[in-house]
Amino acid sequence: MTNSANQLQKPLTTKINDAGNIEIGGCDTVELAEKYNTPLYVIDEKTLRTICADYKKAFEKYPKTNIMYASKALCTSAIAAVLDEEGFGFDTVSGGEIYTVHNANVDMSKVLFNGNNKSFEELNLALDLGVGRISVDNFYELALLNTIAQSKNKIVDILLRITPGIECHTHQYIQTGHLDSKFGFDLTQIDDAIELILNEYTNLKLHGLHAHIGSQIFETSIYADEVDILCKELSRIDDKFGLKLDEINIGGGLGVKYTQGDNPPSTYEIGEIIINSLHKAIEKYNIDPPSLFLEPGRSIISTAGITLYTIGSSKQVPHGKKYVSIDGGMADNPRPSLYQAKYYAQIANKKETDELELVTIGGRFCESGDILIENAQLPKLDEGDILCVYNTGAYNYSMASNYNRVEKPAIVLVNNGQSEVIVKRETLDDLIRCDVIPDRLKKYE
């Protein structure tokens, strides 16, 4: 089976340069830290585009495949522009993501709006900007969307998001396809939803079914199970309602290699399993070949990203751990605190050595749980060293906060020795930009 770039722990372009420093995208990471300050998110464009190419090649045997980037992994205007150039559509989950991809001048007909509690304002925006599909999550949304569509005299193209009853072995917070989930219609509710669409909600046009089974998935058989369930439902709906749905959206969720012990499947392996399963299901249930949509996010962007930090204070607990602190932490990467996520790091400005020490990398935020990496084996660390944490392209900037009123880091795109800011570092003025002091509290001189 062909390997793919999503299985790498580091960006494709990672190497040690003549200065002995880690280099990514042809750029010395120590120089990046000096030029742009830290914490700093860095995205390697070559790795990102290579993973996109892997996905396209992995699914080329099924021409009716449409790949839609799951924007929640990392949504910026520049990243959207790169993915648009690669021919990808976009799975969005908020008005903000819709507005961001629109700002990148993407073809909005290739955008899907997904989510379990879309607001009136967000649905209104989606229709005004011409979003191609709305994945409807519940009965409340069906009614609301139909009302908005009627007010605009529009017919809205939709999918029904369903919970297929598949439970993957991942963290409970990132399981979405099992029956006890906040997302989607239960299989027993599909017929009631279709009855409403056919008889009452006539401004909605149903094209197919949408399911998503989780995130950071290493199992492969569950994709085959999901395809079978969706195709079976297409056949059953045709038999009962005479309604030929022609789209299935299987979501995303393919895992990545955060640590040496992680062994994610390649995009090629997943592609072969999904396509073979789809052909079998088409024959088994005697349906016309549907358009296949999938929504990779983490496996597109994660490996392309690193985060650079500067080492600060350290503390040796008597008869206990040695803590080394960085100038970032849970506000720019909440995943270790939220999911107990594991990461791999190296010192960017020190050559590999056999003389390693066991340290715990702590963040700068006022929480005991602000620990980035426990029990890391690293060379002796000094104040001012640059820590390079790998596989941080997904869900780091996306989930970042201003906890402790700390500014969010910049994002830099690197390629062929060039570095470009694609998200500016926040300033202190940015932090207070939306603050309002009532007149009665103001001090007048």
Q: What six digits make up the tokens of 66? A: 């449409």
Q: 11-23: per-residue pLDDT in tens?
A: 999 999 999 999 9
Cα–chain center distance at 341: 15
- What pLDDT is recorded for position 355? 84
39-76 burial: b if 16+ Cβ within 10 Å, else e? bbbbbbbbbbbbbbebbbebbeebeebbbbbbbbbbbb
Report if residue 9 sits inside a domain. no
Question: Do 397 and 373 touch, CB atoms closer than 8 A?
Answer: no
- CATH code at position 213: 3.20.20.10
Q: Which two tokens stand for residue 70?
A: 């799951």
Nearest in space to 413 (alpha carbons), one of 74, 8, 2, 19 = 74
| 145 assigned to some structural domain | yes
User: 108 Cβ partners below 8 Å, 6+ apart?
Assistant: 101, 102, 129, 130, 131, 132
434 is catalytic: no
Angle of CA points 363, 366, 369, to nearest 5°: 60
Q: pLDDT digits over 352-405, tens only?
A: 777 899 999 999 999 999 999 999 999 999 999 999 999 999 999 999 999 999
Does 129 score more than 70 pLDDT?
yes
Structural domain that includes position 196: 45-300
Total structural domains within the chain: 1
CA angle 430, 103, 68 (to 5 degrees): 115
215 pLDDT higher than 90: no
Residue 168 confidence (pLDDT) above 80 = no
Residue 107: inside a domain:
yes
Residue 340 lies inside a defined structural domain of this protein: no
Q: Is residue 8 over pLDDT 50?
A: yes
Check residue 181 and give its pLDDT.
Answer: 65
Rg (CA), the chain: 24
Q: How does pLDDT run across 294-341, given as a tens digit for each residue?
A: 999 999 999 999 999 999 999 999 988 999 999 999 999 999 999 899
Mean pLDDT of the chain: 94
| Cβ contact 46:13 at 8 Å | yes
Task: State mean pLDDT over 177-198.
Answer: 83
| Amino acid letter, residue 56 | K
Q: Tell me: pLDDT of 2 over 90.
A: no
Q: Quick one: pLDDT at residue 179?
A: 52
Domain assignment of residue 355, yes or no: no
Q: Which DSSP string corresponds to 321-371?
A: PEEEEES--TTT--HHHHH-----EEETTS---S-EEEEEEE-SSS-TT-E
In a domain, 218, yes or no: yes
- Among residues 415, 442, 436, 427, the alpha carbon closest in space to that of 43 is found at 415
Give the model's pLDDT for residue 368: 93
Q: Give the mean pLDDT of 106-121.
A: 97
Tokens of 445: 């001189």
Residue 427 domain-assigned (yes or no)? no
pLDDT at position 262 is 93
Residue 257 domain-assigned (yes or no): yes
Catalytic residue among 52, 75, 231, 366: 366
Residue 170: pLDDT band by 50, 70, 90 thresholds? very low
Mean pLDDT of the 155-161 span: 98
